[in-house]
Amino acid sequence: MSLNAKAQKRYFLNIEQIHGYYARGDVSPEVLFEFLHQQAESMAEYNIWIELLPLQKIRGYLENLGEFDLDSKPLWGIPFAVKDNIDLAGVPTSAACPSYAYTPQEDAEVVRLLIEAGAVPLGKTNLDQFATGLVGTRSPYGVCHNSFDFETISGGSSSGSAVSVAMGLCSFSLGTDTAGSGRVPAAFNNLIGLKPSKGILSTRGVVPAVRSQDVVSIFALDSVDAEKVFDVVAKQDPDDAFSRKQSELNVPAWGEKPVIGIPDEAGRMFYGDAQAQANFEKSVAQLQEMGYEVKELDFSAWLETAKLLYGGAWVAERYAAIAEFIESTPKDMDPTVEGIIRSATDLSAVDAYRGAYQLQDAIRQTESIWQEVDCFVTPTTPSIFKIAEVEKEPVALNSALGTYTNFMNLLDYSAVAMPSGFREDGRPCGITLFAPAGSDCKLLNLTKQWHPKFVEFAAVNRSPIQKGQITADHHAIPLAVVGAHLTGFPLNSQLLERGAKLLKLTQTASKYKFYELSSRPLLKPGLLKVDDSSGASIEVEVWSMPKEHLGSFLALIPSPLGLGKVELIDGSEVVGFICEPNGLHGAVDITEHGGWRNWMKARAET
């Protein structure tokens, strides 16, 4: 197993990893959710949440979990977030419009299925008001900021749902996707974004945007987790008129290596963004190197269809969803959102029929192309924008973002957005795989194969807090521990007795060797920074230690260990345990295990 694959498997908020921690007793759901809640509160400036659930309410969900049993509850104790246009019983649903808010008595069907499977909600997330926008800036609860670059848009409308996963606050989240709202934020925050086939996930309990085209979407760190969530919620709902069975969809057969379609040169649009163009071209080259046949095809029918969602009569469905509210309370709406939705009043029944005819023509034009390719790959978006740029041109730039997303639901496709690496400016890029309805699992399986080859581990699994964000208060310092002071290990009490609090679980930069020292009786590790390529990322916990107790803590540290600067995977530095080189005589090199927990487990099995 490569270092990247092993490190990815260790990432703390992946579903398998959390279940491993629970099974070993390393951490309890109560401790995990207290930690995540604390982290969420510390990130208020990102405007991720419309309502972060009180700990008391979260504890109620935890009390109902019962015994740890993955057979009956495959998502037991897994944290997730819910876009605030999806009902969570007893919590207001606002659709990012406070005066529209109502408090549902029942969960949306997808939420009910998740909670029944053991998942635990952390809160309701921010969005472009009434799910109208692809930017993440159209909310009275504040602009939701990108997890990589605070000045860059997060993407919308499912902005908070994406950022909550990207910032390490939950394992997965629910969004909605009508025009790209489950894919654009995934691309901008380095996530998997699954846009299921229409009707496969129930939309009962979801505030409609364009009801005939709406789907509930899933954000996750990888396609394995996305598929686990999909398996739980992909159930036909007899009380949802738009629900349908996945088994009844006529999914085309694929060969062992599916043939990949990409837009021809005229259909590759980047609005002058050379970095986005270079990333897509590199992605196509990687597919060819992996042995896939790639065909360039005329993409004009798809691009023309994309214009129908906002430029045609489907805007009237947005108006129909909130007609009474928009006429009685227009002052409470985001001006851009109101302008888009109110434009529907200028449409006629004749316009609706014309749009339907155009769509039927597009369906017929594109049907034959599926005889040549099995699935398509496009950029998820042509470009990415700064918040200030979108504020100057809110409609034009939003429209540009929908170039490769707006047509999907109209033409009845399933799609998965996945990371494709980083631009030269450090911001994420993404590609989207799409195919006819019912291809959801096939696309997820392709993503499982492609994702590790497209993105380096350090880019995929970043630390939950970005560089410069580990800010203990003025009376405490962040402290990294790697061995017996970890949660659940013998010396952790030395931290707790001094009032230290767990900030996060992360990794070092890939510049360290890791050893089991020969001194006894207590087993302990040594962390040594190296200048060559033999180093790796090592799992650490970062704690907030009160300054007044640091001296007494230091007095307990035996030679050859001491405190020094430890570089984390995000490039930041914190105080942490390091080992003097002369203390490594007789030590065992355990770097390949990636952390003390893994080594102790391996040691016990031999």
In the numeric block, which tokens belong to residue 355? Answer: 């749009």
The count of other CB atoms within 10 Å of the CB of residue 511 is 19
Three-class SS of 378-406: EECCCCCCEHHHHHHCHHHHHHHHCCCCC
DSSP secondary structure letters along 248-260: GS-PPP--SS--E
The count of other CB atoms within 10 Å of the CB of residue 174 is 29
Are residues 590 and 606 in contact, defined by beta-carbon separation less than 8 angstroms? no
DSSP secondary structure letters along 273-284: -HHHHHHHHHHH
Task: Return the residue matching tokens 């392709």.
Answer: 446
Count helices and strands in the chain by DSSP H and E runs = 21, 19
DSSP secondary structure letters along 42-94: HTGGG--EEEEPPHHHHHHHHHTS-S--TTT-TTTT-EEEEETTB-BTTB-B-
Q: Which of 139, 154, 157, 420 is catalytic?
A: 157
Rounded to whole angstroms, the maximal C-alpha distance in the chain is 84
Which regions of 119-160 does DSSP assign to beta strands (E)?
120-125
Residue type present at position 255: G
In the numeric block, which tokens belong to residue 183? Answer: 């894919």
Reported as type and span, the H/E element at residue 328 is helix 315-328
157 flagged as catalytic: yes
Q: Which residues, in sequence order, are bridge partners of residue 124?
A: 51, 82
- Going by C-alpha positions, the residue among 494, 505, 502 that lies closest to residue 595 is 505
Are residues 479 and 502 in contact, defined by beta-carbon separation less than 8 angstroms? no
181 flagged as catalytic: yes
Are residues 529 and 562 in contact, defined by beta-carbon separation less than 8 angstroms? no
The helix, strand and coil proportions of the chain, stated in percent and rounded to the nearest 5, come to 40, 20, 40
Q: Which of 139, 147, 161, 181 is catalytic?
A: 181
Reported as type and span, the H/E element at residue 229 is helix 223-233
The CA distance from 271 to 389, in Å, is 14
Q: Where are the alpha helices (DSSP H) in 368-503?
A: 387-392, 394-401, 440-454, 457-460, 492-496
Order the strands of the 539-546 sheet from edge to edge.
501-507, 539-546, 476-481, 573-579, 561-567
The CA distance from 55 to 89, in Å, is 16
Question: What per-residue string of b and e applies to 271-294 under the rule 16 or more CB within 10 Å gives b?
Answer: eebeebbebbeebbebbeeeebee
Q: State the catalytic residues.
A: 83, 157, 181
